[in-house]
Amino acid sequence: MIAMEENKEIFVRLERCMGCRSCEMACAIEHSDSKNLYTAIAEKPVPVRLLYVEKAEGRNVPMICRHCEDAPCVAVCRTGALVQNSLTGVVERIEENCMGCWMCAMICPYGVVGRKTGVRMAVKCDRCKDRDIPACVQACPTGALVYATQREFMEMMRKEAAARIAREARALARA
Amino acid sequence: MTNDIRSKSMDPACQEMLRACEKSGLETAWDRLEKQQPQCGFGELGVCCRNCNMGPCRIDPFGEGASEGVCGATADIIVARNLLRSIAAGAAAHSDHGRDVAHAFKLIVEGKAPSYGIKDQEKLDRLMKEYGVDSPALLAAAILAEFGKQDGPIQFTRRVPPQRLELWKKLGIDPRGVDREIVECMHRTHIGVDNDYVNLILHGLRTSISDGWGGSMIATELQDVIFGTPKPIFSEANMGVLDPEKVNIIVHGHEPLLSEMIVAAASDPEMIELARNEGAKGINLAGICCTANEALMRQGVPIAGNFLSQELIMATGAVEAMVVDVQCIMPALGPLASCFHTKLISTSPKAKFPGAVHMEFHEDTAQETAKEIVRTAVKNFRNRDPSKVQIPDIKTQCMAGFSVEAIVSALGGSLDPLIEAIKNGSIRGIGAVVGCNNPKITQDFGHIGMVRELIKNNVLVLTTGCNAQACAKAGLLQPEAAEKAGEGLKAVCQALGVPPVLHMGSCVDISRILVAAAALANALGVDISDLPAAGAAPEWMSEKAVSIGAYVVSSGVFTVLGTIPPVLGSKAVADLLTSGAKDVVGACFAVEPDPVKAAGLMIEHIDSQRRKLGLA
């Protein structure tokens, strides 16, 4: 598989997460039939979210599928229910192939394999295949979730760090 | 871009100013709404509770996460508590307005508010009779006592048909006092008090009744006593009422105690002379929101715009002063004023704004302060930058001033001709369409789409608030608008020389609609819930609107909301409001954002009511 440099990923800026769970809600709505909050809450089966805001060591940590290179969940899937798109790197799911063996759930280092309501079937982040920007990223009110290429994300972080260093240097010079 | 602006407002003047704002980079409510997207789903469903510091708590509407708050509150409890707090805030806003008017009335009676007088002695006499007192001082004391009463009754609630009063008593929702019910809302929603959603909502109805048939009605009645009961009057609406050659003063907010004094000061020859000396051709006054409605109803002061027009009116660059008091005044006006020469002048000790000049208004010195405010505006005329001035050349004639008294008089002294028209079907029923603007709905489209559909179907529309202003701007408040009505309504309007949409005043003046409904029901010997009538708030946004909706339904009128209230996180509460309430108070809510479909629901309801009354 060739991971293209221009492929975008969902990055997390931990310090910005307020724990509002807007991403979780947007995710569940996006993966409902109606894609509308007011009707989604009454759907059967109940739509589920595919990312999880955890509280750990005093911090809010949005946990979301990393779509790993040579993804272990894909490697252990015995039925071809999980496949990695060779162009986008996204780990995609072929629902009818899933037999609920939970090998993917056991191997996932992040614990982000979910369960479809009422059935023995694995579900996971599909990075919102019908959208340009994933629903969770769009819903985040603080920009804690960033949808960008790795280069873009690093450039953004680098510029922020540079600005911080410059400010500190100026303050030191004044002192 | 053009399409985008059309989706923001259907008012051509607002569209023109939105384009101008976009060009000059001025931000408006629509831009800020966009920046708020997506809005919090927990908030939209009403399942977020911040009432104690074990929280904030939220219920997962998808059932996977928390189904209870830390205290054990379920979605039903949280949604009902939040709703009750909204009703409390709305009722508090209306009733505190009523209290201010009652307090001013007391000062007038005591001779301590020389700027004001009594304009409607006949209404004063009627109110004294209703209260069983024989002096204005005793009336003032009796009315002020309504706020602090512990065991009721609030006198004006006795205006409802006997069946309704019996029902309220049976349900335990006959209010005991205006302030008591509001305070009790806050008590009940405190951690660990009322945790039964039905009990919470019943108290919400009681609180709202203390607004509609209490605080709001007190405001209306005493404003009529002090400033005169409105009579039909012609004026104009929309931004074209701003005069490029005159000092433009905008009154914005809600209480006529202020605007009436500004009207007087602006017509003071000394001030007009001062304006001429400053290079202006005179002083031009116009209004926004309910202040505009109050000043229009009694003084014929033109309407500059409704709620969502406020920033756009300031952005014309032609406003010397925007004078505000309380309610629905965007804090965004302060920073916006700094882009122009406009002075934002706050006047209420309750309402200060960043970037505003504060010129505090008190009853005993009202006239002097009003003159000082007008003088400040006039002196600001020279600072106007003509290169920044853009006034849309758009205005429409309108007819307003339809108090219940004015309607009765237009009908020749009694409601009988109206009842006859309803009975014979030329008027199918009555639609009360009120409420705000909300940028979630194309400005005025919710209002106008609904009202046009209603009158086309021979439903006589009674209106107040921002709906009335939308109708004024759209030309529906002209007698000629009868042409747009169905044959039956058109004939009635043309015979009486009135528009098919009757402007009854400000938001507190929805109490006039209640009085009219009670009078109609009493004349027919039925309850209000039996009338062929329906209410609507197509573009509502404020907590006051929540209280209004609750008291209109409590009074027995089916009500359609155009924006979704934050209650859908509890199926039980939503079901109670949209159907269960019918078996309790004889009316319920419906939610329908499409204004034509919403009008359809109202007409359907009116028709079924007609059938029940045995009318064809």
- Tens of pLDDT, residue by residue over B29-77, are 999 999 888 888 899 999 999 999 999 999 999 888 899 999 999 999 9
pLDDT tens profile A65-86 = 999 999 999 999 999 999 999 9
Binary contact (B42, A46; C-beta < 8 A): no
Is 60 exceeded by the pLDDT of residue A126?
yes
Between A117 and B391, the higher pLDDT residue: B391
Residue B30: inside a domain? no
Closest Cα to residue B518, out of B507, B509, B527?
Answer: B527
The span from the CA of B103 to the CA of B597, in Å, is 44
Is 70 exceeded by the pLDDT of residue B430?
yes
Structural domain ending residue among the three candidates B353, B388, B423: B388
The span from the CA of B243 to the CA of B248, in Å, is 7
Q: Are residues B265 and B120 in the same domain?
A: no
Q: Are residues B379 and B425 in the same domain?
A: no
Both tokens of residue B561? 């909301």
How far apart are the CA of B562 and the nearest CA of chain A, in angstroms?
15
Binary contact (B61, A49; C-beta < 8 A): no
Residue among A21, A25, A35 with most chain B CBs within 10 A, to mutate: A25
Residue B111: inside a domain? yes
Q: Are residues B95 and B147 in the same domain?
A: yes
Residue B63: inside a domain? no
Q: Are residues B309 and B196 in the same domain?
A: no
Chain A residues with beta carbon closer than 8 angstroms to that of B41: 22, 25-26, 29, 37
**Averaged over B595-610, what is the pLDDT?**
98
Q: Which amino acid is at B176?
A: R
CA distances from B465 to B56, B229, B296, B373, B508 (A): 35, 17, 12, 25, 9
Residue B3: the pLDDT is 65
Biggest distance spanned by C-alpha atoms of chain B: 72
How far apart are the CA of B58 and the nearest CA of chain A, in angstroms?
9
Cα angle: B495, vertex B296, B123; to 5 degrees: 80
3-state secondary structure at position B233: strand
**What is the tally of structural domains in chain B?**
3
Is 80 exceeded by the pLDDT of residue A4?
no
Name the band, by pLDDT with cuts 50, 70 and 90, for residue A1.
very low
Query: Worst-scoring range by mean pLDDT, A14-18, A28-32, A110-114, B414-418?
Result: A14-18
Q: Are residues B363 and B408 in the same domain?
A: no
Binary contact (A41, B568; C-beta < 8 A): yes
* CATH number of B476's domain: 3.40.50.2030
Binary contact (A38, B564; C-beta < 8 A): yes
- Cβ-contact A10, A147 below 8 angstroms: yes
Name the band, by pLDDT with cuts 50, 70 and 90, for residue B564.
very high
Between B151 and B64, the higher pLDDT residue: B151
Q: Does A48 touch chain B (CB under 8 A)?
A: yes
- Find the DSSP H helices in B132-215: 136-148, 162-171, 178-188, 197-210
Binary contact (B61, A25; C-beta < 8 A): yes
Residue B65: the pLDDT is 84
How far apart are the CA of A38 and the nearest CA of chain B, in angstroms?
7
Both tokens of residue B517? 């409904």
Chain B residues with beta carbon closer than 8 angstroms to that of A37: 41, 44-45, 61
- Cβ-contact B284, B275 below 8 angstroms: no
**Averaged over B497-501, what is the pLDDT?**
97
The span from the CA of B251 to the CA of B3, in Å, is 32
The span from the CA of A64 to the CA of A91, in Å, is 12
Is 60 exceeded by the pLDDT of residue B509?
yes
Name the band, by pLDDT with cuts 50, 70 and 90, for residue B616.
confident
**Averaged over B175-200, what is the pLDDT?**
98
Candidates A20, A41, A48; nearest CB to B40: A20
**Averaged over A146-159, what is the pLDDT?**
96
Chain B residues with beta carbon closer than 8 angstroms to that of A48: 62, 64
* CATH number of B198's domain: 1.20.1270.30
Binary contact (B63, A20; C-beta < 8 A): no
Expressed as residue numbers, the domain containing B315 is 239-388
pLDDT tens profile B524-546 = 999 999 999 999 999 999 999 99
Binary contact (A21, B564; C-beta < 8 A): no
pLDDT tens profile A45-69 = 999 999 999 988 888 999 999 999 9
**Averaged over B406-426, what is the pLDDT?**
95
Q: Are residues B259 and B326 in the same domain?
A: yes
Q: In sequence order, what are the residues at sequence separation of 6 or more whose Cβ sits closer than 8 angstroms to the Cβ of residue A42?
A: B571
Q: Are residues B328 and B269 in the same domain?
A: yes
- Cβ-contact B539, B323 below 8 angstroms: no
Torsion of CA B56, B62, B63, B64, to 10 degrees: -90
Residue B27: inside a domain? no
Chain B residues with beta carbon closer than 8 angstroms to that of A47: 62
Residue A150 per-residue DSSP state: H
Q: How do strand A52-56 and strand A59-63 relate by DSSP bridges?
A: antiparallel
Q: How do strand A122-123 and strand A114-115 relate by DSSP bridges?
A: antiparallel
The span from the CA of A134 to the CA of A49, in Å, is 13
For chain A, the residue count is 175
Q: Are residues B436 and B354 in the same domain?
A: no
The span from the CA of B1 to the CA of B19, in Å, is 9
Residue B171: inside a domain? yes
Complete edge-to-edge strand list for the sheet that includes strand B343-346: B357-358, B343-346, B321-324, B247-252, B283-288, B303-305, B233-237, B396-400
Burial of B390 (0-12, 13-18, 19+ CB in 10 A): middle
Q: Which amino acid is at B45?
A: L
Residue B41: inside a domain? no
Candidates A21, A46, A47; nearest CB to B58: A21
Both tokens of residue B78? 């949280």
Q: DSSP of B412-471, one letter per residue?
A: TSSSHHHHHHHHHTSS-EEEEE-----TTS-BTHHHHHHHHHHHHTTEEEEE-HHHHHHH
Name the band, by pLDDT with cuts 50, 70 and 90, for residue A3.
low
Q: Are residues B91 and B209 in the same domain?
A: yes
Binary contact (B64, A46; C-beta < 8 A): yes
Q: Does B61 touch chain A (CB under 8 A)?
A: yes
Structural domain ending residue among the three candidates B388, B416, B440: B388
How far apart are the CA of B581 and the nearest CA of chain A, in angstroms?
21
Q: In sequence order, what are the residues at sequence separation of 6 or more whose Cβ sits closer than 8 angstroms to the Cβ of residue A9?
A: A66, A67, A147, A148, A149, A150, A153
Residue B9 per-residue DSSP state: B
Burial of A88 (0-12, 13-18, 19+ CB in 10 A): middle
Closest Cα to residue B535, out of B556, B515, B519?
Answer: B556
Q: Are residues B355 and B410 in the same domain?
A: no
Computed over every residue of chain B, the mean pLDDT equals 97
Of chain A, the percentage scoring pLDDT greater than 70 comes to 98
Of chain B, the percentage scoring pLDDT greater than 70 comes to 100
Q: Domains (ranges, CATH) in chain A?
A: 8-148 (3.30.70.20)
Q: Are residues B525 and B447 in the same domain?
A: yes
Closest Cα to residue A141, out of B151, B362, B37, B5?
Answer: B37
Residue B2: the pLDDT is 53
Is 70 exceeded by the pLDDT of residue B515?
yes
Is 80 exceeded by the pLDDT of residue B282?
yes
Q: Does B41 touch chain A (CB under 8 A)?
A: yes
pLDDT tens profile B446-457 = 999 999 999 999
Structural domain ending residue among the three candidates B367, B388, B409: B388
3-state secondary structure at position B531: coil
**Averaged over A167-175, what is the pLDDT?**
92
Residue B569: the pLDDT is 96
**pTM assigned to the model:** 0.92
Residue B358: inside a domain? yes
pLDDT tens profile B69-107 = 999 999 999 999 999 999 999 999 999 999 999 999 999
Q: Does B38 touch chain A (CB under 8 A)?
A: yes
Residue B139: inside a domain? yes
Q: Are residues B410 and B345 in the same domain?
A: no
Q: Which amino acid is at B436?
A: C
